[in-house]
Amino acid sequence: MAITALPSPPKHFWVVLTLAAVWNGFGLYDWMMSMGGEAYYRAAGFNDAQVAYQLGFPVWMQTAWSIGVWLSVLGTVLLLLRRKEASTAFGVALVCALFSVAYQNLIVPGWPIMGAMTAMSWVIAAVCAGLTAYSVWMTKRGVFR
């Protein structure tokens, strides 16, 4: 089977890749620091109610968050490698982010406790959706293999 060269990626690819790496790098940092539990949240300036809310996430929510973070990081690596599987990684991360949106806005509303920080679940879902769409678009344009 012959190996064909991929076309050069457009300039915006490098911008999106850089932004994705910074965004998902911070997401991974936040996830890793949160494994420290209460100390991390206290250092971030959370009050007692906010710490209790964060530490009270059920296992399924923590699992969805963890999977979403790691798949976003994987998606970014696949983006760098220009692999079409990036869209799958980002797509599943989006589903995980939507679990977070549902939990923090419908199941156990975070607005009264977390205030505007609750909006981050929506921002994260929007970024995942954007990266999913971008990866699909690059695949359809033949930029990814």
pLDDT at residue 3 tops 90: no
pLDDT-derived band at 6, boundaries 50, 70, 90: confident
List all residues 6 or more positions away from 68 whose beta carbon is below 8 Å from its beta carbon: 92, 93, 95, 96, 97, 99, 100, 124, 128
Predicted pLDDT of residue 97: 97
Question: pLDDT tens across 114-125, in order?
Answer: 888 889 999 999
Predicted pLDDT of residue 1: 56
Specify the amino acid at residue 69.
V
The token duo for 36 is: 């420290």
d(CA 115, CA 105): 11
Q: pTM of whole model > 0.85?
A: yes
Q: Average pLDDT in the 93-119 region?
A: 90
Helix 120-140, helix 85-102: angle, nearest 10: 160
Q: Average pLDDT in the 86-109 region?
A: 94
Location of structure tokens 């921002």: 123
Question: pLDDT tens across 33-88, in order?
Answer: 999 889 999 998 999 999 999 999 999 999 999 999 999 999 999 999 999 999 99
Question: pLDDT tens across 20-31, in order?
Answer: 999 999 999 999
Which among 25, 24, 16 is positioned nearest to 138, based on CA atoms? 16
Please, are residues 82 and 6 in contact by the beta-carbon 8 Å criterion?
Answer: yes
